[in-house]
A and B are shown apart, each in its own frame.
Chain A
């Protein structure tokens, strides 16, 4: 079987090699449990940041309410594990599917409209979902939350699952950006109507990407619940959660392939070392960084590193231009 034209061996090999190396870390290098757990969280954060970017970056439809999908996936998966004793992976899948369908339910109509309607609607979705989930305690356990079953060796298992999820996220990002599909998404982002005039089915593609983003977000939320063996609505569905995804995308580089992954790593580190000491500056810091990045380097860290690389004589290989 021949790989598609857009496939490149080198980045694929690098990413895969990195994943294998990371997977071998706990048994071979005997890293501490603390490091292992931090890495696990980083992996799932990377996947979530990438999933946000599929919508916010590739389609230019910024979501300020992705915590709703993240949280819904978590609650559905948790409820299914607790009440229906569904195996973890099955419950994650179900949580992802529900989150994807939920995204379609409000995203399908609002994505059709020219203008920023989708983005505004996401603010409302985030708020409404948080309210409803806080009060529907038969489903979410209310503000006291719910605890999930803990099994022996779960944390190490989750470490590997986390790598797998991040890997799938990276591969999907490559596919959505580098394949002809990626060009179609950019065409839609440039001019929806003109895209339709040359045969691009914007409805199907936008809905498809929205569903994928919701699915991935839901799975990440479900993973997160399993990781903490606990889920509650206030933090999981909070405004800060939604903003964290926006932040990771923007810092790393909206619309780039791996930028948001970088943004996720930065986010985890920043939260670790800065936010812990100055929790009251959390939002403001995000705000300042957002403004600075948008004004001076809209492609975030990716743009910055490209600039540096160019100074040292690097020339990018043009993507699909043969």
Chain B
């Protein structure tokens, strides 16, 4: 029993890395542009298919295809912003319109994936897919460790980027007050574009990483979008540490819920957590912070 609990805890920690990565992409875009990227789920799915396709066609290891996927997804994000999101009005009306617009993009991606790759479940099988390492008496799969490692490096790099570089600081400044940034000569539109690209890249990174853990189909990403949102709400906007802790909480709650509720309900657990947090602590567990 103890071993089982340890197993659940360790796997929750490792899973949290993935959750934090995908949530940070959503939170970044929302924090800076005040737009919920409903296409987040679509890009997670696209990232998964990209990694799968590279492996299937060229035998490229999913972890090695990540840099290419990041660049491509970044470009997709930039184009999505420049071609679509930028044309919407800001404010109350624009909020609804951006939801619907990005939802439409998601539907298109989903349908495209269905047409190209069919609706069947796909998995990426590598030589190390079934390998595991012993850890404190538990067995940890190599894939989980690798996913965790990549996530950790990404989030660390992101934190440094946002706090140490000029562009990162500009992103945080725009998140707080776009008007003053315009006055101070920050190219706000370009920052928006960059942020949208970054957030989109993070989504597809999460998708690519997820191929090591899950099977997926064109509908993949819906649950992940929701989980990302739960983490964003739990962790507050844009704080890397807050996101990490929130991701861990979600992963722990999900993993341990298996002990008390039937397994088909685990994907509903995140949602219950979301509503609870919204009702009890609407500002997130750590209060509202804007990026950093």
Contact = CB atoms under 8 A, between A and B. Distances in A.
Contacts, number: 127
Contacts of A191: 92
B110 interface: yes
Interface stretch (B71-79, B97-105, B124-132): B97-105
Interface string A292-316: 0011001000000000000000000
A281 interface: yes
Contact of B101 (A128, A134, A286, A291): A291
Interface string B116-156: 00000000000000000000000000000000000000000
B271 A298 contact: no
A62 interface: yes
A124 B108 contact: no
B108 A284 contact: yes
Looking at A60, A116, A119, A124, which has the most chain B CB atoms within 10 Å of its CB? A124
B248 interface: no
A56 B81 CA distance: 24
A127 B226 contact: yes
A280 B115 contact: yes
Given A127-B223, A132-B265, A284-B108, A294 B97 contact: yes
B274 interface: yes
B264 interface: yes
A116 B223 CA distance: 17
Contacts of B88: 294
A131 B268 contact: yes
Interface stretch (A93-101, A107-115, A229-237): A107-115
B233 interface: yes
Contacts of B92: 60, 189-191
A64 interface: yes
Interface of B is mostly: helix
B233 A294 contact: no
Interface in B55-106: 84, 87-88, 92-93, 95-97, 99-101, 103-106
Contacts of A190: 92
A131 B278 contact: no
Nearest to A108: B279
Contacts of A123: 222, 225-226
Contacts of A113: 278, 282
Interface string B199-232: 0000000000000000000010011011001000
A210 interface: no
Looking at A116, A191, A281, A295, which has the most chain B CB atoms within 10 Å of its CB? A116
B282 A294 contact: no
Contacts of A285: 111
Interface in B256-292: 262, 264-265, 267-268, 270-272, 274-275, 278-279, 282
Interface of A: 56, 60, 62, 64, 106, 109-110, 112-113, 115-117, 119-121, 123-125, 127-128, 131-132, 134-135, 189-191, 239, 243, 246, 250, 254, 280-291, 294-295, 298
Interface of B: 34, 36, 84, 87-88, 92-93, 95-97, 99-101, 103-112, 114-115, 219, 222-223, 225-226, 229, 233, 262, 264-265, 267-268, 270-272, 274-275, 278-279, 282
6 contacts: A116-B99, A123-B222, A127-B226, A190-B92, A280-B115, A283-B111
